[in-house]
Structure 1
């Protein structure tokens, strides 16, 4: 059925105790989420599963009626965590489809933002497939905001009118994500990472200024491919420049595959109807066999800190939840299995006056040392693959900031270390 937004009563469709899921980042159906939080008192206590926010729709004061759970502490989720109203789900990104399809976090209601239907009357998923497909399939109710300003991005999943319970038509710019220009340290790290990437490689990259800076340094490469959780402005620029062709990919040849678009309105306009882009579900983008089959998969992910054995904390900084377990381990393992692949973790050597190469992690182990590959800071590259602990310590010390190295060595001598020497 179709309703006007001004008359939409979400309490007719959402029950007390329900779990509500919507598309993350640019895919957030802003009119629906705004309406949802305005009407929260009429619905009763319910729960929202949040991804990465690209808006300020959700705020701590909404916790008077809403319970919030997320796999990440990015963006606006940090304010929720600081206020003590965000429950964190510490799982690999590849597990999210199963989490939202069954069990205590099964999606009851899915809110989606869709472009207008095609000539066959079917709706594409707009700007994200990723875990949204699983939420749609599990949900008792699917409510769609059909936005005529939303680009059509190709992907195998579409919805028939019978798959949707309520349609609301809107016309507004989607949410966008913009990155700050990279600073000198970020550019030095990016240069080290870019130097590892050969022609014909298939790229996976995480979120933030550092991956964008790496992509920005690849303009002289040829026949790169993309298989990633997200597609960004810098990646789109490489596609439009003919640097990313996917011509040497083992699977999805000639096509850049991602779970969602995350970037500016320029990215969204460029992706509209682009034949070289496909959005796929998380069960595909993060599948271990799909990743291992990629030609020369280079996985570039960031971290909060790395200890001297290669363990990675990508979740907690200064006692606050700022990141996620995310898809790093999925992609690092996939890159390690890929022929010619490179599993890369990149980070600045310091945060303020504190070293981010540490003797002991200050937060959880997000990625085990058994999955360690190459660790990169502005001081160089530490290749930990196949190396015993003694060699790992030496190589990681070499990429710490020089004035922090004596303290790290002293911590080793005093036994302040994550494992016996």
Structure 2
């Protein structure tokens, strides 16, 4: 296509946010791009136009917006159906106005393709087009590329702040039904300094990571502490759902160079990005960073090909059987499975038999009123969701140590978990052990 042709087509598709959202019809399912790629200008225009809609379903993974479509005053117009939940939308599920779809992150692109998860309108934020009319989806490839292909209507917000990131992240403006130009800074997150517990957990995790390992980490204090503890390692790689600012420092220091990865050598492979402007500037036109869809990054059959693969995920609580709850709190949906099980199973299936899966968490949580709760519990309460089964769990790490559960009996597992529990709760857990197994702890 000649440059003049695509530019003419671009001008023909260019419209205002208010006009673009008129393409949404009552009864439609509207999918929003994930996390930092949520098209703020389009969402705000849709909400301003709310009186024109009834029974519009809004779906997405994490939203970094206000989630106004999920609030009680919007119930006659919008219904939120989440694939993961966050503070802006969680209450609607708890109150019964919204709903939740349990789904592995790796399955989402395929479920969009098969229309198991139907999409009528997809709203996405992308970079400015290059000289050939090609945009980058920038900070969210996960289900974005498949949604662009599958949705009946695709509305794109062009944001000059969106970085151009490579991999399977490029899309020509021909794929968009209408285009809106609206630039604003991307959402940022600053995790602050890791505390003493994070640092201890980071050291424990680092002790299991060899030079040349390929890593999957999430976001937050513990992953950043793990990265900080890896400064003396060599030739690490990344194959993950995402990276944040902590990874940037190790890449710049040469610790993460991806030179010994068994697949995608030399490339940091993720499906979305979320951090500060430092991260977004770092990945812009950086040939080392590649975005791939979630059915590649999170596919256990792909993950297993990474040599010395180590995945690190978190939990709300772990019981003495070794069952992990990472998605519910007090019997209510709190988040979702995300990619935890995808990566744990990929590590377990590793071709070199050197895959390691870690659940890393503080031994106890402190509520706002100062009450301390053990995150290692005798049994999960009724109504608690099991995110990762006892059969899948490998290592559990707290600030008090490492519990390697693979190949251990249920009694051995329970003893190992009690040993890394907060000392204030070990006597209580020992009693639970004795009641369950009929022998002294």
Shared fold by TM > 0.5?
yes
1:351 aligns with 2:370: no
Cα distance in 1 for residues equivalent to 2:134 and 2:207 = 44
Aligned match of 2:7:
none
Out of 138, 149, 153, which is 1:141 matched to? 153
1:145-184 alignment runs, 5 A limit: 145-184=157-196
The answer to whether the 8 A contact 2:262-2:307 is kept is yes
The Cα shift of 1:402 comes to: 1.8
Partner residue of 1:399?
Answer: 420
Unmatched runs of 5 consecutive residues or more in structure 2: 1-11, 367-371
Aligned pairs for 1:382-421 (under 5 A) are 382-415=403-436
Match of 2:81 in 1: 69
Partner Cα distance (2:256, 2:75) in 1: 44
Contact 2:159 2:183 in 1 (8 A): yes
What is aligned with 1:375?
Answer: 396
**Which residue of the partner structure matches residue 48 of structure 1?**
58
TM-score by length of 1: 0.94
Query: CA separation in 2, counterparts of 1:198 and 1:85?
Result: 48
Secondary structure at the counterpart of residue 239 of structure 2: strand
Looking at structure 2, the residues matched to 95 and 227 of structure 1 have their Cα atoms a distance apart, in angstroms, of 17
Distance, in Å, in 2 between the alignment partners of 1:102 and 1:136 is 14
CA deviation profile, 1:287-334 (whole Å, cap 9, x unmatched): 122100001110000001111121100011233422211111110111
> In structure 2, what is the equivalent of residue 199 of structure 1?
211
What TM-score does the superposition give when structure 2 sets the normalisation length? 0.90
Aligned residue for 1:143, secondary structure, equals strand
Distance 1:127 1:330, change over 3 A: same
Q: Contact 1:26–1:177 at 8 Å: present in 2 too? A: no
| Aligned counterparts, 1:28-43, within 5 A | 28-43=38-53
Which residue in the other structure is 1:361 paired with? 380
1:221 to partner: Cα distance: 1.4
1: distance between equivalents of 2:335 and 2:206? 24
Bigger Cα displacement from structure 2, 66-75 vs 267-276: 66-75
State the partner residue of 2:5: none
Give the corresponding residue for 2:9: none
SS at match of 1:376: strand
Counterpart CA distance in 2 for 1:230 and 1:107 is: 24
1:271 aligns with 2:280: no
1:100·1:106 contact (CA, 8 Å) conserved in 2?
yes
Offset at residue 412 of structure 1 (A): 2.7
What is the CA-CA distance between 1:6 and the residue it aligns to?
Answer: 5.5
RMSD: 1.9
1:2 pairs with 2:28: no
Unaligned 5+ residue runs, structure 1?
none
8 A contact 1:97–1:131 mirrored in 2: yes
**Shift in alpha-carbon separation, 1:209–1:77, aligned structure 2, 3 A:** farther
1:91 aligns with 2:103: yes
Q: CA deviation at 1:264?
A: 1.0
- Work out the CA distance in 2 between the residues paired with 1:255 and 1:161: 27
In 1: Cα distance, 2:344 partner to 2:138 partner: 28
Partner SS, residue 387 of structure 2: coil
Distance in 2, matches of 1:30 and 1:260, equals: 17
Check whether the contact 1:360–1:416 (CA below 8 A) recurs between aligned residues. no
**Partner residue, 1:260:** 272
Q: Does residue 24 of the first structure (1) align with residue 41 of the second (2)? A: no
Q: 1:9 offset after TM fit, Å? A: 4.6
Q: Distance in 1 between matches of 2:220 and 2:247?
A: 12
Per the TM alignment, residue 267 of structure 1 is displaced from its structure 2 partner at its CA by 0.7
| C-alpha deviation, 1:57, in angstroms | 4.7
> SS at 1:8's partner residue?
helix
Whole-Å Cα distance in 2 between the matches of residues 312 and 260 of structure 1?
A: 25
Separation (CA, whole Å) in 1 of partners of 2:100 and 2:302: 28
| Kept after mapping to 1: 8 A contact 2:241/2:297 | yes
Indicate the SS of the match to 2:80: strand
